[in-house]
Amino acid sequence: MTLSNAEEQLMQLLWKKEKAFMKDLIDAYPDPKPATTTIATLLKRMQDKNFVDYVQYGRSREYFPLVKKKVYFSKQVNGMIKNFFNDSAAQFASFFTKETDLSQEELEDLKKLIDQRLKEERK
């Protein structure tokens, strides 16, 4: 099951806020803001897909994500790796460092990160 674009956008907002009432979500949209019924529809569809749930607070609901951004994101990336790189994360990584513009500092940081990981693995 996947989120559509509009749903994913809304999910991003929810992830950022961790939990939110409809009003907060709509406020977070840039103008022109969608109709409340639009958001209500999206939220319901997302519930059906088991991406969000809510807690009833008095008469209104506080929504929260059922899926962690990390997990969702990983699936996205893994999908791409599968589709574009024959399932090789290394190939992806190589491509990634070549084709995105990381500044020198960013490259240094990334290198440090990899070093750390390598050290950890040696333990």
Partner DNA sequence: GATTGTGTTCTACAAATGTAGAAATAAATT
Partner DNA sequence: AATTTATTTCTACATTTGTAGAACACAATC
In one-letter notation, the amino acid at residue 115 is D
- Angle between helical axes of 5-17 and 36-48 (0-180°, round to 10): 90
Nearer to its own copies, 22 or 93 (CB): 93
- Rounded distance between C-alpha atoms, residue 100 and residue 42, angstroms: 33
Copy the structure tokens of residue 62: 């506080």
Choose among DNA, its own copies, none what residue 7 binds, the Cβ cut-off being 5 to 8 Å by kind. Answer: DNA
Out of 1, 55, 70, 123, point to the residue binding its own copies (CB under 8 A).
70
Total residues at interface with its own copies (CB under 8 A): 41
Q: Are 64 and 55 in contact (CB under 8 A)?
A: yes
Contact flag: residue 6 with DNA (CB under 7 A): yes
Contact flag: residue 60 with its own copies (CB under 8 A): no
Contact flag: residue 43 with DNA (CB under 7 A): yes
